[in-house]
Chain A
Amino acid sequence: MDQAIVSRVNELMHQGFEIPTENLIATARLKEDLGLDSLDAVDMLVHLEEKLGSRIEGERLMHVKTLGDVYVLVQETLTPPTV
């Protein structure tokens, strides 16, 4: 995993949702461990797009479970598909 992406996502989660940085680990579950509710998904989508300057498939964000899943989603969004 690209550490720059991890840092950017963690920065957003810390600033946007006031989650302590020590809790921001890849295995953290968004709901149980980080205390995010389903409406936060909408905020996260918009924040991520603003921060990354890139379009994210909203549908995919509906199915992430852990912070690690978010890292993967962002990495795949920022990495052009190879042919």
Chain B
Amino acid sequence: MIGITSYGSSTSAGQGVEALWKGVSTGQNFLKSFPTESWPVALNFAPKVCSWPGERPSSAQDRLLFHLMVSWREAKARVDLSADRVGVILASTKGLIEDYIWTSQSLATDLMTPLLKAFCQHAEIDAVKMMVVSNACTSSLSAIWLAEKWLEAGAVDSVVVAAAEEVGPFVLQGFHCLHALTASVAKPFSKERDGLQLGEAAAVMIFSKRESDVVVSGVAVDVEGHAVTRSAPSGNSLKRAIDALNLDEPDLILAHGTGTQLNDEIEDQIFFAEYGTRPAITGSKWSIGHTLGASGAVDVILACETIRRQTAFRLGNTEAVDPKFRSRYLTRNSDVAVEPSRVLISSLGFGGIHAVTMVEKGAS
């Protein structure tokens, strides 16, 4: 068990956790258009928070650093790390690849480490441990798994997990080729669902062994290696991850809930088999989009907010649940009078990598 000391975010709903919560809980959809044909960058290995006064076009690295610093500023305001041995983990997946695709032909290009180092430098963190975790859409939850290991081993006093994702033409076309994108808006768990909408986000979370009012009581990752992209329809890997947690049942689930046929089928099947209709299920991707490697971090932050505010939010685009699904969902007109004390977050990633984490009320 590790304490969630602080967090901050920058999403399409706006800068800050309050904007994120307000957007998701009031049913707003932050659909955003992304560049489809070109990428106006010059690859640069010294990311800058911003390009004042227009020294060069901003790269994916620059933009992610900017949004990470906005998130860091919010998270840092509530915690003093000056006496701590701090570890820093960057969680991201495909966003940074845009810089490589459009400017470099070297397969040896490492785009993640310069961003991690730049983040530490700008955040003025003298990190004793640093790591990049790029585990597809489970990157954030995998990073929390690693954070727990570092803290349990006593290697650090606090861990900063910085998660960020960017969408450019390569990422967009990739999802398009997989027929994974919705033609309208994402409607997770509805019969009319026809795909996901992509989103961009940055989030910073700070963990420690200190007591906190919200904690991560468990995190588990499982890999099935079923295919390059698709998860196995059986959902066995997700089931193994949940079973590995070995924790009491949640009263709320923040599902991965992308709105694709397969993702939602797997989640309904496994959640019903594990918990029946007892926990309410909701999600955030219909509102702020699927933020890929950052999505788990955004949902962990939202889970903390549901516990602190003692309420939940709905699947705002979902009028009615697919009749073949058996779990209990918070659809657009559902009563959100849930008083969450234990929230499960799931992330399902390409290659059949599945992760879950439980966030619950802490001692203080």
Binding site for B on A (CB under 8 A): 29-32, 36, 38-39, 41-43, 45-46, 49, 55-56, 58-59, 61-66
Most chain-B CB neighbours within 10 Å: which of A46, A56, A61? A46
A63 engages B54 (CB within 8 Å): yes
Separation of A39 and B73 alpha carbons in the complex (Å): 10
Partner of A62, one of B10, B16, B50, B122: B50
Q: How many B residues face the partner with a CB closer than 8 A?
A: 21
Separation of A39 and B188 alpha carbons in the complex (Å): 38
- Which residues in chain B, 195-226, are within 8 Å of chain A measured between CB atoms? none
Binding site for A on B (CB under 8 A): 10, 14-16, 19, 48-54, 58, 62-63, 66-67, 69-70, 73, 122
B residues less than 8 Å from A61 (CB atoms): 50
Separation of A30 and B52 alpha carbons in the complex (Å): 7
A residues less than 8 Å from B53 (CB atoms): 29-32, 65-66
B residues less than 8 Å from A55 (CB atoms): 14-15, 19
A58 engages B52 (CB within 8 Å): no
A58 engages B15 (CB within 8 Å): yes
B residues less than 8 Å from A41 (CB atoms): 49-50, 52, 66
**Min C-beta distance of B35 to chain A, whole Å:** 12
Separation of A10 and B123 alpha carbons in the complex (Å): 27
Separation of A36 and B51 alpha carbons in the complex (Å): 12
B73 engages A38 (CB within 8 Å): no
A42 engages B63 (CB within 8 Å): no
